[in-house]
Amino acid sequence: MRPTFIEISRQALLDNVAFFRRIATAQTLIAIVKANAYGHGIETVAPILAPVVDMFGVAYAEEGAFLREIGVDTPILVLMTPTVGDIEAIIEHNLEVVGCSLDFVHALSSAAQRHHRRIPVHVYVDTGMHRDGIPYQNVPAFVEECTRLDGIELKGICTHFARSDDRDCTMTTEQNHRFSSVLAQLESRGYRFPLVHAANTAAAIRFPETHYTALRIGIGLYGMAPGVTKAPDLCPVLRLRSQVTALRRVEKGESVGYGTYYFAPRTTTIATIAIGYGDGYSRMLSGKAECLIGGKRYPIVGAICMDECMVDVGDDPIRIGEEVVLIGSQGHDSITVGELADRMGTIPYEVTTLLSNRIPRVEVE
């Protein structure tokens, strides 16, 4: 068995949930586990979270179906615009959905009635992101039409912020104003919703006025604060580790790896590590990343391969089988997801969601 795996800290997950419970004015916590729990492993993460959260959020109906198949009975909300092709899975697996078009909710209602069911729908209000949902000006008419449909239940109403993790608060403030105005219009017409949710991780931390009755927490559950958001109490959940599988001496001036991008500046030892871009450890990190061996940083050199990468360990007494940490702590040092994101020119979300399913996830305390 290849000695590369991801450790998922149960206690860190629980501590992060507790953090959001402490800061929340909302009572309902929706844990977002889409995209394989942001790369952390939905099959590992969801059973840990199920007893301590109120609902799960997924992107697609098939993710919700998978949660049901592994025994999760917590309410599940499908957050991306559903299609008519999703309807049977939504009904079969008792999923909740966002309402983004009249055509869809009509089709959903008709199918639900054939099954003698009522499907919970959350009205998705587009307040300025312009990706999904009902334009905020049209929401009252949409809600009125939905109330005529016997196969759906209007359980929630929501919106999504485009820049809540940005230093400039203007757009978030404007979006929240539009959303609260829609809520006021609906309330004046007698429409109220058990769940009202707008805040993602950044908004939950930075804008308490956006909490309403539920929070949707994604990246924060996994111990990361997006953009300019500061949350030192969050605990990283993921630790990516491998082992040294080979060692060889390389003379000064000799090349290492594909493409001969790296030439040894001195006679040195090159360690081979059992992880590569086929595991989601991006080739974009070639010549930029470091790893920890024995609590010390070493540069990853040459082009990252599909299944392996190479590390210049100099003359240090490294042994085959020694632990290598690519993300997480070892000794007194730590390599964060944010650090790798900066070196790749991307965001932490992409770093973890790239991690392949061929890396086993293992729950640890």
Going 104 to 106 to 109 to 110, the CA torsion angle's sign is negative
The residue written with tokens 């990516």 in the block is: 240
Note whether 72 and 47 are within 8 A (CB).
Answer: yes
Note whether 153 and 117 are within 8 A (CB).
Answer: no
List 60, 258, 288, 296, catalytic entry: 258
Three-state secondary-structure class, residue 25: coil
Could you tell me whether strands 152-158 and 195-197 are parallel, antiparallel, or unpaired per DSSP bridges? parallel
d(CA 242, CA 321): 9
List 34, 155, 222, 281, catalytic entry: 34
Question: Quick check: is 222 catalytic?
Answer: no
Alpha-helical regions (H) of 257-308: none
Count of C-beta atoms within a 10 Å radius of residue 233: 14
Amino acid (one-letter) located at 94: N
Residues in CB range of 233: below 8 A, 6 or more apart? 19
Note whether 57 and 77 are within 8 A (CB).
Answer: yes
**CA–CA distances in Å: residue 1 to residues 23, 190, 358:** 43, 61, 12
Note whether 134 and 100 are within 8 A (CB).
Answer: yes
Which secondary structure element, helix H or strand E, spans residue 139, and what is its range? helix 139-146
DSSP 214: E
d(CA 157, CA 122): 5
The residue written with tokens 């078009």 in the block is: 101
Question: Quick check: is 34 catalytic?
Answer: yes
d(CA 358, CA 311): 22
Residues carrying an active site annotation: 34, 258
